[in-house]
Amino acid sequence: MSEDQLEELIIQIINGAVSTIPAYLEEIKENKETLKVENPQEFVYGIVIGMALGMGGAILSAQKETPTEEDQMKIRDIVYRHIPEIRERIFN
């Protein structure tokens, strides 16, 4: 899989994760006593980043063997390039 294809898939993952933000925020609001989340937006930010990193690795695992450290760094770099957009979509 080329880096462009990987980036395209990760962008789709990010967009899918970001589309669930309102539901996550509502869930946190409804369960604040159980979850004990101090900053719901930061919590959701962590969920979105975790999903992007985890799913990127899962995609590569499905394509071949376990992703190498280099593969994982590529995924991280792609996700990190999109952090400003992710933060904007969560915090604005």
State the chain's mean pLDDT as an integer. Answer: 90
Domain of 54 in residue numbering reads as: 3-91
Q: Tens digits of per-residue pLDDT, 45-60?
A: 999 999 999 988 888 8
The pLDDT, as a whole number, for residue 26 is 93
Distance of CA 86 to the CA centre of its chain: 9
H helix intervals, 1-92: 3-19, 21-30, 32-35, 40-63, 69-81, 83-91
Q: Tens digits of per-residue pLDDT, 13-46?
A: 999 988 999 999 999 999 989 999 999 999 999 9
Number of domains in the chain: 1
**Is pLDDT larger for residue 3 or for residue 40?**
40
With a pLDDT cut of 70, the percent of the chain lying above it is 100
